[in-house]
Amino acid sequence: MSEKIEAAGAANTARANGADAPRFWRSDALPFIEARSIDDGRKVCYAKHSHETFSIGAVTGGRSVYLNRHAREWIGAGAVVMMNPDDVHACNPVAGERWSYRMLHVDVAWFTKLQHELGFNENHAFRAFSQIMTLDAALFDGLNRLCAILTSNDDDIDTLRKESAAITFFSNVQQTLNPAGLPERAASGQLARAAEYIAENCTSALKLDDVCAAAGLSASHLIRAFKLRYGMTPHAYLINRRIQYSRAQLRRGALIAEVALDAGFADQAHLQRTFKRLVAATPGQYRS
């Protein structure tokens, strides 16, 4: 089955012809993660293989036989499977059943750094997972949400939100399947510096690393503590600040299209959707 590569903003998505062909997503802005999905895997057949990455997948339809090293499991929709780096595995559908799944492959160095931030000794290498599968509904739903966010072409979903969503999900994976102590709560001053940095640079294409550096916090700690302190994620706080900036510009009579670009939105339509969601009015209504 032939495949073609399409550019979607910073991301490249491999879209194949037909439901029985795999689709891949990757992004230059998020090089530590790759997504793969298939809607009809009845013709799929994997030989035993392994990955250099940590891999986690959700079965969304049908049943399959899951092999992981010496284990053999029958799994169906709702199952979440995990493969540690270099674990030999295979997962093939029951004959005749429309098997579907979503899979994420994550760079080991990135995940190891996250483990350290969540409380593991920084002298440790990657902490492998003892479980090879789970029926945890929260992880299943979380993986599907993350895949939807990563692969979306919606202009409302930018790199900061995608990276934050990935950190949140894999922090949950770590704490659910291989728990460790959580870091101490961030000092209010550090969180205030993060909020101030976002506010002062809200019209720019902010990176999560920049906000973390300004606050002196790790990414996983920032995301958790920021939401506890402000009731929203750093990304949501950024969008809210952009809307505040837009309102100020509109009150001065600026053109809507110019405000959209000045505020950091992709285009006027992006501003329109976000403005109406947060202000319950269109930019035109507010400007009038």
Q: Are residues 56 and 99 in the same domain?
A: yes
Give the pair of three-digit tokens for residue 32: 């530590």
Residues 161 and 234 grouped into a single domain: no
| 163 and 197 fall within a common domain | no
In terms of domains, do 147 and 249 share one? no
What is the domain-level CATH number for residue 124?
2.60.120.10
User: Pick from 144, 177, 210: which residue ends a domain?
Assistant: 177
Record the pTM: 0.75
Say what the pLDDT of residue 121 is: 63
pLDDT for residue 185: 54
- CB distance 272 to 279 below 8 Å: no
Residue 167 is predicted with a pLDDT of: 94
Domain range enclosing 100 = 3-177
CB 214 within 8 A of CB 197: yes
Q: Are 245 and 167 part of one and the same domain? A: no
Q: What's the CATH number where 266 sits?
A: 1.10.10.60
Token look-up 């110019």 returns 258
Distance between CA atoms of residues 111 and 256, nearest Å: 42
| 11 plus 70 within the same structural domain | yes
Q: How much is the pLDDT for 18?
A: 61
270 and 140 co-located in one domain: no
Give, for all 288 residues of the chain, the pLDDT tens digit. 232 233 333 344 444 456 667 888 999 999 999 998 888 867 666 677 778 899 999 999 988 888 888 888 899 999 999 999 988 888 878 777 788 899 999 999 999 999 988 887 676 788 888 899 999 999 999 999 999 999 988 767 789 999 999 999 999 999 898 775 544 555 778 888 999 999 999 999 999 999 999 999 999 889 988 888 887 889 989 998 999 899 889 988 999 999 999 999 989 999 999 988 888 888 998 887
The β-bridge partners of 137 are none
Distance of CA 283 to the CA centre of its chain: 30
Q: What is the pLDDT of residue 197?
A: 95
Give the per-residue pLDDT at 15.
44
Q: Output the six-digit token pair for 252.
A: 């001065």
- The structural domain count of the chain equals 2
> In this structure, what token pair is assigned to residue 24?
């891949």
Same-domain status, 61 and 140: yes
**Could you tell me if 100 and 235 lie in one domain?**
no
Max Cα distance, the chain (Å): 68
Same domain, yes or no, for 242 and 167?
Answer: no
Round the CA-based radius of gyration of the chain to a whole number and report it. 21
For residue 119, the model assigns a pLDDT of 81
User: Where a domain ends, among 153, 177, 201?
Assistant: 177
On whether the CB atoms of residues 242 and 261 are closer than 8 A, the answer is no
Same domain, 152 and 209: no
Residues 62 and 37 in one domain: yes
Q: Which of 177, 206, 231 is the last residue of a domain?
A: 177
Cα–Cα distance, 46 to 27 (Å, whole number): 25
Structure tokens at 135: 């029926």
* Cβ atoms 58, 80 nearer than 8 A: yes
